[in-house]
Amino acid sequence: MVAGAPTPFAALLPPDDAQAKARADKWKSADPYPSIPPSLLNSADICAYVATAGMIHPFHPEDIKPASYAFRLEGLCRDEKGTFLEIKVGDDFELKPNSIAFVTLEPYIRLPDYMALRFNLKIKNVYRGLLLGTGPLVDPGFEGRLSIPLHNLTANSYRFKGGDTMIWVEFTKLSPNERWKNKKDEAVLDPALYVPFPGDKYGRTLKKYLEEADEHRVIVSSIPGVFREASKAAERANAAATRVGIGLVVTIIGLLSIVFAAFSLTRGFVSDARNDLKAHAQTTDSLRNRVTDLQRRVDSLSHRH
């Protein structure tokens, strides 16, 4: 078998998920390749375990590298607004600036008891300024699909399509244990399955990595822009508060003026009323005195007659 020629190897893969499950059940606790030492698996060993033990399904031979395999984007996703989307092959998915989204990856995993899995973002996504926000270890015996949070801390918006490769995954075989010691015949391992590192990727520079990450845009952090917007918002809020404060002071002064005017008016009214009463009292006293004087005169005239 020639390395990089997928057709012969593709015929060895489980044709469907039911076959993958059957093979995974058979080899879950029995190692089909005990001669492979506990170590980080090379591409030939990954292919052998996938074909024999059904570790992941589906499997795309073209996505294998010397010691890792690429997982593709496909499945349930949640965008930055909290909306859930089912991403299928060819569907668009946008990762907006300064946001976090959660995406699901295509293959269904059935790890045997003697195999662990680690993963990280593809180098292209790393140079885009994206972060993978989760621990990279998947323990032996795990079954299911991987979902990962993606952080975009840049000022750029990135678009992905269902079927795009997102992460590189590596497989590590655990140290021996009697539990999964193979009591059966060892499966045949084809060393020709090994995929070497591609020669066209030798000697790449930082400039080359950045061009591959995003050819037409400069990748800059979104954090300074967020701070600037926050500062502007604070200034606007402070100005609005100042205007509201001045308006409030003017209103209070106006109200106090009305109160003082009313008080002054009331005080003047009370003072005028008091003066009027005093004047009326004086008039009454004067009339009373005149009446008394007249009464005295009448009495005097009466005595004379």
Span 157-190, pLDDT tens digits:
999 999 999 999 999 999 988 877 765 656 655 6
In the predicted model, is pLDDT for residue 23 greater than 80? yes
Report the SS3 class of residue 150.
strand
Share of the chain above pLDDT 70, in %: 60
Q: 257: which residues sit within 8 A by CB, 6+ positions away?
A: none
pLDDT of 17: 96
Report how far residue 277's alpha carbon sits from residue 109's, in angstroms, rounded to the nearest whole number: 104
pLDDT of 270: 47
Least confident of 47-61, 89-103, 281-295: 281-295
Q: For residue 16, which of 49, 58, 55 has the smallest C-alpha distance?
A: 58
Q: Supply the mean pLDDT for the chain.
A: 79
Over the stretch 27-58, which tens digit does the pLDDT of each residue have?
999 999 998 999 999 999 999 999 999 999 99
More confident residue, 219 or 122: 122
Least confident of 11-25, 204-218, 238-252: 204-218
More confident residue, 277 or 297: 297
pLDDT of 239: 73
pLDDT of 10: 83
Phi-psi category of residue 25: left, alpha or beta, with phi > 0 → left and psi -120 to 50 → alpha = alpha
Burial of 35 (0-12, 13-18, 19+ CB in 10 A): exposed
The residue whose two tokens read 């080899």 is: 27
Bridge partners (DSSP) of residue 92 are 161
Burial of 144 (0-12, 13-18, 19+ CB in 10 A): exposed
CA neighbours closer than 13 Å in the CB half-sphere of residue 83: 7
Question: Mean of the pLDDT values across residues 134-139?
Answer: 78
Report the SS3 class of residue 279.
helix
pLDDT of 162: 96
Q: Inter-axis angle of helices 17-27 and 43-53, to 10 degrees?
A: 100
Question: Mean of the pLDDT values across residues 97-104?
Answer: 92
Burial of 90 (0-12, 13-18, 19+ CB in 10 A): exposed
pLDDT of 232: 74
Band of pLDDT at residue 269, cut at 50, 70 and 90: very low
CA neighbours closer than 13 Å in the CB half-sphere of residue 8: 9
Report how far residue 237's alpha carbon sits from residue 234's, in angstroms, rounded to the nearest whole number: 5
Domain ranges of the chain: 6-213
Q: 192: which residues sit within 8 A by CB, 6+ positions away?
A: 1, 2, 3, 44
Tokens of 260: 């003082």
Q: Mark 247-276 as b/e (b = at least 16 C-beta within 10 Å).
A: eeeeeeeeeeeeeeeeeeeeeeeeeeeeee
More confident residue, 53 or 242: 53
Report how far residue 231's alpha carbon sits from residue 203's, in angstroms, rounded to the nearest whole number: 43
pLDDT of 179: 77
In the predicted model, is pLDDT for residue 256 greater than 90? no
Q: For residue 166, which of 75, 99, 85 has the smallest C-alpha distance?
A: 75
More confident residue, 244 or 9: 9
Determine the CATH number of domain 6-213: 2.70.40.10
- The reported pTM is 0.65
More confident residue, 9 or 5: 9
